[in-house]
Chain A
Amino acid sequence: MSTPGMALDLDPTVPEATREELIAAFDHTATRYLGISGDEFLRRFDAHEIPDLNDLRVRKVLDRIDLVRPARIR
């Protein structure tokens, strides 16, 4: 089913996050659960330096990675 006019100009009831807010959200989660910055988490993730991706606290951070990187489709 095609969707006409999907250039979205949504009501500002819930505003679209800025790039800075997305980075802050990811950084907040990485710091809260792992005690490292969001940038450091991404560095370790890319370097395969995170030993257990199924650890609950790691998963909390991975759950928010689509805020800063293209998604795993949900």
Chain B
Amino acid sequence: MPGKTPAEAFDLYAKPLKAVLGCLTRETLLRTPIPDSEDQNGNALQRFFFVKSPVLLKDSGLAFDFSHYFRIVWNGETSTYRVKTISYTYEIEDEATRHEILAFHWEPDSPRSRVKTPHLHLGFALRDKSLPFHNKAHIPSGRVPVEDVVSFLISDLQVTPLNSDWSAVIAAARHSFMNQKTW
């Protein structure tokens, strides 16, 4: 959703995101500009993160590692700003072993990632084991909004949400996201 100012565009992007993550954790979501990351127009890359990441997920034995990069960009055609997602990694770990179970990655510009398209990793924790959850669990694929991952954690992996209206929070955030996504 575009904004008339960078702050407005950021607010429209960040508020639903923060609300969705708030269904899982009370950790404070922070952001930081990445030094020396300005694009040709001077827009710094920024990162959302939690200090104590991965965050523990209630009643599940799971932990969630969240990393999300974005830029605020100017659209000269509409004279508005919008927030553009640059990359993400959403990873689900077994808290006891600290082994990764599932990882949703999209890092098209990362020099360390050979695969530039969105993808899902079945993690180390699954090697030589039967699945630690029902084999009919609906694993999202393609480019995955974090709203879908949070919904998956609660609905399929039995994470206890921290607020009773989690479904409405996610639905509202998904609606906002669908209105502003460019893919």
The yes or no answer to A51 lying at the interface (CB within 8 A) is no
The yes or no answer to B138 lying at the interface (CB within 8 A) is no
The yes or no answer to B86 lying at the interface (CB within 8 A) is yes
Q: Interface size (A, Cβ < 8 Å)?
A: 38
Measured in the bound complex, the distance between the Cα atoms of B145 and A23 in whole Å is 28
The yes or no answer to B75 lying at the interface (CB within 8 A) is yes
CB contacts (< 8 Å) of A67 on chain B: these are 32, 47, 49
Q: Interface size (B, Cβ < 8 Å)?
A: 52
Are A71 and B37 also in contact (CB < 8 A) when A1-B74, A21-B51 are? yes
Measured in the bound complex, the distance between the Cα atoms of B125 and A25 in whole Å is 24
CB contacts (< 8 Å) of A29 on chain B: these are 53
Interface residues of chain B, those whose CB is within 8 Å of chain A, are 5-8, 10-11, 14-15, 17-18, 28-37, 41-45, 47-53, 65, 67, 69, 72-76, 81, 86-87, 89, 98, 100, 107, 109-112, 124
